[in-house]
Amino acid sequence: MDLTHARVARERDRVRADPAVVPLINETRDALGDAFETDVDHVTPAQYRDAVDAVFADGDVAVNVAALAGLLRDLDVSDDYPGFVVDEILGRELAATIAGGRPLSLLAEATFHFADVQTHGDADDAAGDDDLRAALAAGFQTRLPGWDWTAAESPFAVEPPGDVE
């Protein structure tokens, strides 16, 4: 894989234009909301595109997201199951990279598995295609607002101590 600026830009455009990601984000949010007995806001296509743009605006993140997405897009394994481990590893890493630092990256990794169970590719799809969509959905659903617990300041924040003389 040759990662150039142009290749990263093409990957951004592919991620940004995938029509399956926003519905999967919202299906995942609905299912998680039911599981945790809470309402979670849906994501609009515009919110998704803006978040993709933000991820790819950070060059260090962009090159890693492009590489992981490209690997998943090209990953195929005869009979798929033997490749289960590698597509899970790549999917978790992609979701975590999109979501950002801890604790969001860990939540995105866990959400990847949840979204992956709901995602099934067509018979003609490469083995990594459904994992790519699940990773995009998990990473961006975690990154984007809509969860009540992320809307308020944490009750565990501690103010820095005053100056000591």
CA 94/CA 120 separation, integer angstroms: 18
Give the list of residues 6+ apart from residue 52 with CB closer than 8 angstroms, or none: 12, 15, 16, 140
Does 164 fall in a domain? no
Does 32 fall in a domain? yes
Does 19 fall in a domain? yes
Does 157 fall in a domain? no
pLDDT value of position 118: 77
Does 162 fall in a domain? no
Give the list of residues 6+ apart from residue 118 with CB closer than 8 angstroms, or none: 24, 27, 28, 31, 134
Does 37 fall in a domain? yes
CA distances from 55 to 28, 33, 116, 156 (A): 20, 25, 21, 28
3-state secondary structure 41-72: CCCCHHHHHHHHHHHHHCHHHHHHHHHHHHHH
- Domain that residue 109 falls in: 5-149
DSSP state of 138: H
Does 18 fall in a domain? yes
CA 7/CA 152 separation, integer angstroms: 38
CA 69/CA 1 separation, integer angstroms: 11
pLDDT value of position 80: 60
pLDDT value of position 75: 80
- Count of domains observed in the chain: 1
Predicted TM-score of the model (pTM): 0.88
162: which 2 tokens?
Answer: 């005053």
Does 112 fall in a domain? yes
CB atoms within 10 A of CB 24: 21
Q: Which of 104, 135, 127, 107 is nearest to 24 (CA)?
A: 135
pLDDT tens for the chain, 165 residues long, are 889 999 999 999 999 999 999 999 999 999 999 999 999 999 999 999 999 999 999 999 999 999 999 998 888 777 666 667 788 899 999 999 999 989 999 999 999 988 988 776 665 655 667 889 999 999 999 999 988 877 778 888 888 887 766
pLDDT value of position 128: 65
